[in-house]
Amino acid sequence: MCLHVEVLVPSPKKDEVLLKLEAASLNPVDWKTQEGNLRPLFPPRFPFIPEKSFCAKAGCSFTFGGESGAATSAVPSRGTERRDDVAHSVTDVAGEVIEVGSAVKSFKAGDKVVSMLIFMKGGGLAEYAVASSSLTVHRPPEVSPAEGAGLPIAASTALQALKTAGAKFDGTEKPLNILITAASGGVGHYAVQLAKLANLHVTATCGARNIDLVKSLGADEVLDYKSRDGEILHSPSGKKYDAVIQCTTGVKWSVFEPNLSENGRWWLLLLQSHDLCEVCPEDAYLC
Ligand SMILES: NC(=O)c1ccc[n+]([C@@H]2O[C@H](COP(=O)([O-])OP(=O)(O)OC[C@H]3O[C@@H](n4cnc5c(N)ncnc54)[C@H](OP(=O)(O)O)[C@@H]3O)[C@@H](O)[C@H]2O)c1
């Protein structure tokens, strides 16, 4: 499916940067919003066209410019009008700074950056978007635009979950055993790497085809979720888990409970309402 909507390029407010986008990533929240899972809160009305406000042209591709030919070096017609009456999505992007607002000191035109756009506005499927300078970081050259665009929500979700589980990243954390389900997925593969950075012992689950990948990310033990041990989430070394970062759906609380240590905590990244009904212990943390 291709959508094509012509709109004006936005102008940055004083604390914003205007970006020419190079890559964007789609998170589950983007397609779940499209499916109406956040109704009646968001979007205010359907049909929901994610790029309607800020795009000059949009297609199926996740990358912009260069050989795909989507963007040109000249900035097309500019506009100050914001279509704040229209809901948007797709927030995680990489791009080049074209212009900065009057109060922005840390970025200049030509800088390569990664940004998280404001959730209620999005605009990441456009050629141009404005981003808050406080939600923008410089992209090092060794990080590709696609790799950068994959970071914002997925990696910060993993980081937030790990910190809640007790990871401190300063060498002072207790030696925790942690279970990360769906470790081959968007959140899970960051969680594994960050957990190892925090010196945690990681047991991970994923599909058989991704076992080598998840091992290469640093997981200490990897379970195929379709194997017997994987189905019951049993650590091969017999470890009980001090924390679980649950990145998949359809696993009941009764499966987790026998595997938790005495003070085990459970961090659930939600997901679907029917799963919440099936698994909702008192010490579950929702995201
Ligand atoms: N991405 C985000 O930024 C974000 C933020 C907050 C919350 N969440 C929520 O977190 C959850 C995961 O999101 P995601 O972006 O990481 O998803 P994803 O990239 O689509 O990953 C899903 C993974 O689930 C694995 N999987 C499927 N069935 C499984 C099972 N029974 N046991 C273990 N793994 C299984 C698959 O592994 P194989 O391919 O190896 O089979 C796949 O890699 C979603 O419910 C999402 O709503 C995501």
Q: How far is CA 155 from CA 104, 112, 115, 158, in A?
A: 25, 19, 13, 5
Q: What is the pLDDT of residue 126?
A: 86
Q: What are phi and psi of 15, to 5 degrees?
A: -105, 25
Q: What is the pLDDT of residue 49?
A: 59
Atom index in ligand 1 nearest the CA of residue 156 equals 3
Cβ–ligand 1 contact at 76 (below 6 Å): no
Q: What is the pLDDT of residue 41?
A: 76
- Which regions of the chain are under pLDDT 50? 51-73, 80-87, 270-278, 282-283, 285-287
Closest residue by Cα to atom 25, ligand 1, is: 182
Cβ–ligand 1 contact at 28 (below 6 Å): yes
Tell how far CA 12 is from the center of its chain.
Answer: 24
Atom index in ligand 1 nearest the CA of residue 251 equals 31
| C-beta atoms surrounding 87 within 10 Å | 21
Among 162, 179, 206, 278, which residue has the most ligand 1 atoms within 8 Å of its CB, making it the best to mutate? Answer: 206
User: 74 by DSSP, 3-state: which?
Assistant: coil
Cβ–ligand 1 contact at 246 (below 6 Å): no
Q: What is the pLDDT of residue 154?
A: 95
Q: In this structure, are strands 201-206 and 177-180 parallel, antiparallel, or unpaired?
A: parallel
Tell how far CA 8 is from the center of its chain.
Answer: 28
Q: In this structure, are strands 136-138 and 201-206 parallel, antiparallel, or unpaired?
A: unpaired
Task: State which amino acid sits at residue 266.
Answer: W
Intervals of CATH 3.90.180.10 along the chain: 9-150
Q: In terms of CATH architecture, what is 154-286? A: 3-Layer(aba) Sandwich (3.40)
CATH of domain 9-150: 3.90.180.10
Beta-strand runs (E) in 11-111: 16-25, 78-79, 92-100
Describe the crossing of helices 186-197 and 152-165 by its angle, rounded to 10 degrees. Answer: 50
SS3 content of the chain, % helix, strand, coil (to 5): 25, 25, 50
Q: What is the pLDDT of residue 54?
A: 38
Closest residue by Cα to atom 31, ligand 1, is: 225
pTM to 2 decimals?
A: 0.83
Residue with tokens 């790799």: 147
Cβ–ligand 1 contact at 149 (below 6 Å): no
Q: What is the pLDDT of residue 120?
A: 76
Name which of 11, 24, 105, 115 is nearest 54 in CA terms: 11
Intervals of CATH 3.40.50.720 along the chain: 154-286
Residues β-bridged to residue 128: 20
Spatial contact of 3 and 52, defined as CB atoms under 8 Å apart: no
Spatial contact of 108 and 91, defined as CB atoms under 8 Å apart: no
